[in-house]
Amino acid sequence: MVLTDNLMTYLVEVMLSHLALTCALLLASVAAICRFIRESYRVGGFGQKHVFITGCDSGFGNLLARQLDGKGLHVLAACLSEEGAADLAAVTSSRLKTLLLDVTDSESIRRGFQFVSREVGERGLWGLVNNAGRSIPIGPTEWMKLEDFTKVLDVNLIGVIDVTLRFLPLLKKAQGRVVNVASVLGRLSLIGGGYCLSKWGVEAFSDSLRRGMQQFGIKVSIIEPGFFKTAVTSVELIDTDLRRLWTRLPQEVKDSYGETYFEDYVKAQEFSMGILCSPDISKVTRCMEHALTAQFPRTRYSAGWDAKLFWIPLSYLPSFVSDFVVNMLLPSPKG
């Protein structure tokens, strides 16, 4: 009993001697609790809500479609291939409807809009998830041609804008949600090609869209995943495309990098991907689901330990620090 009293006295003395720190910790604790309670509130009427998701053949879109279908929402899942649509329909309920959509084709988007309009009727569209994306070609900027940039930008950025503009009238009817999938590479550009550019663009487009649509009751959220094992981060596809880029380079450009640079680059990328890529893509789809179903969704969601603890904090540091870290991850040209 005496020991307990002495301990309590000691703790009180420590708290009083560090009053400012104690107050800060208490305020932080209260703020964290309030935020947790606020974010736990959910909207109702899942059975009356429709969500349209692009890029449902595999990865985040496929898992999110199955996840929301299990929650009772009406999912309209857009796939690029008939095989992807058939596979998804086989493992979901009759509520889920699939359609074929190419986000780089405005006519395909128009047909998709007509399909979704018939499904939602006067209720409007509760959720739009712009998830379709591609990563390759990626690699050193000097290895690229203009068309290598446009291949990625057409899907990851122009496609997002085209789909969103087309579906805004349905979203305004329902005062719904837009969820755009960006990336930590929309905060910190690690590599050349169109991927980082497109994700920075998605960040900017989403911010302007959010500010323009909030008076209409539409909420816009950005998902910023770290590195996860999906088709976008497939090492085999990336390596194959890197070899294509390297092979077509003029010999003088190859010589400037050195004989072993290409193999060193591929090995460094495989090593980084092996360490960073998480197989648990549900960390991302839980963020998407919260953005669609929470009464008070966040503006931004970071998904994955690497996003929260490394990439996003690194993006706030001075450029010379982030440059140093990124350069450490890749080999240097000869000399």
DSSP assignments along 175-243, one per residue: T-EEEEE--GGGTS--SEEHHHHHHHHHHHHHHHHHHHHGGGT-EEEEEEE--BSSGGG-HHHHHHHHH
109 within 8 A of 164, measured Cβ to Cβ: no
Per-position b or e across 312-327, b if 16+ CB within 10 A of its CB: bebeeeeeeebeeeee
Q: Give the bridge partners for 50, in sequence order.
A: 74
Place of tokens 């209409």: 216
Tell me whether residue 195 is one of the annotated catalytic residues.
yes
Q: CA–CA distance from 250 to each of 147, 151, 204, 334 (Å)?
A: 17, 22, 36, 17
Place of tokens 């949600």: 177
- Vertex 75: Cα angle to 54 and 296 (nearest 5): 85
Selecting among 10, 41, 195, 316, the annotated active-site residue is 195
Place of tokens 């499904």: 119
The two three-digit tokens of residue 123, written as one number: 């209720």
Distance between alpha carbon 102 and the CA centroid of its chain, in Å? 19
- Vertex 308: Cα angle to 202 and 237 (nearest 5): 60
Residues annotated as catalytic (active site), given as ranges: 195
